[in-house]
Amino acid sequence: MDNVRLRRLKADYEALRRLAHLHPKIEIEGVAGNPPDRYRIKLKVKSLRERGETIETIDEHRLEVTMPRGYPRDAPLFRMLTPVFHPNIAPHAVCIGDDWTAGESLDLLIQRVGEILAYQSYNTKSPLNGRAAQWVDENRDREPNDRDEFFVDLSAVPDSPAPATGVCSNCAATGSLTPCSANHQLCADCVMRCGTCSRVVCLSCGDRSCTACTQAAV
């Protein structure tokens, strides 16, 4: 992994952990990679989905964000894991804009997806979902009315210490946690155990294998 990509992934991870801590409508549900290059995000915002012939409101959504091998030169990939009825969202992609620059931050892009889901931003002229675009043009009065400001400017929010307990050190998830030998608290999705001795292998420590078994084998 080249240094530019590594530094960017680490910076993204810290920014997204902070965003999830501060934003009431964003949660990190899972990560993959060390540092993470794929995220599963929960967005709590009112949007629409199509069920049969009915268009109905839904309040929670799952988003997958993947950083390709060429990131940050190449744009991150956004894909909804839950169905959404929106002109600029297709099963394989979310259109967040035509021009990607490496200076765009991942936390702002995820918030932009929230804005898109809330129908605060859409483009019916070049849609990914033509049926949704036609529906929106014909049913402006039926768009979701979630008009709360979705953006949180992290640069304007003072730093606050992370909670000592109750939050996964790797992905910021809450719930039942397991400590590693360095007392990093890990959720069930982030806990890996050595197949030989069952000790916790901690991503937050930078471990890729069991240090105890590795040292014993030397």
CATH number of the domain at 145, please: 3.10.110.10
| DSSP structure class, residue 174 | B
In a domain, 102, yes or no: yes
- Domain with 206, as residue range(s), is 178-217
Any idea which residue has 């892009």 for tokens? Answer: 109
- pLDDT tens digits for range 110-134: 999 999 999 998 999 999 999 999 9
Let me know whether 190 and 144 are in one domain: no
Helix runs in the chain, H state only: 3-22, 106-117, 130-138, 211-217
The C-alpha R_g of the chain, in whole angstroms, comes to 20
CA distances from 62 to 5, 81, 166, 216 (A): 25, 5, 22, 42
Q: Residue 164: pLDDT above 70?
A: no
User: For residue 101, is pLDDT > 90?
Assistant: no
Do 116 and 206 fall into the same domain? Answer: no
What pLDDT is recorded for position 132?
95
- 202 or 84: which leads in pLDDT: 84
Main-chain dihedrals φ then ψ at residue 58, nearest 5 degrees: -140, 145
CA angle 172, 36, 81 (to 5 degrees): 80
Spatial distance between the Cα atoms of 137 and 145, rounded to a whole number of angstroms: 16
**Selected residue with higher pLDDT from 140 and 149:** 140
Mean pLDDT value across the chain: 85
The model's pTM is 0.70
Same domain, 59 and 144: yes
Mean local confidence (pLDDT), 2-31: 92
For the segment 168-199, what is each residue's pLDDT rounded down to a tens digit? 777 777 777 888 877 778 887 787 877 777 77
**179 three-state secondary structure:** strand
Name the phi and psi angles at 56, rounded to 5.
-125, 160
Asked whether residue 203 is assigned to any structural domain, the reply reads yes
Tell me what pLDDT residue 141 has: 87
pLDDT the model gives residue 160: 52
Lowest average pLDDT, out of 6-20, 59-73, 89-103, 204-218, goes to: 204-218
The number of folded domains in the chain is: 2
Whether 167 and 185 have beta carbons less than 8 Å apart is answered as yes
Q: Is the residue at 164 inside a domain? A: no
pLDDT for 176 equals 74
Instruction: Give the closest residue to 204 by CA, choosing from 161, 164, 168, 170.
Output: 170
Predicted local confidence at residue 215, as pLDDT: 66
Does 43 share its domain with 117?
yes
Q: Do 106 and 33 sit in the same domain of this protein? A: yes
Q: Which two tokens stand for residue 56?
A: 């109905």
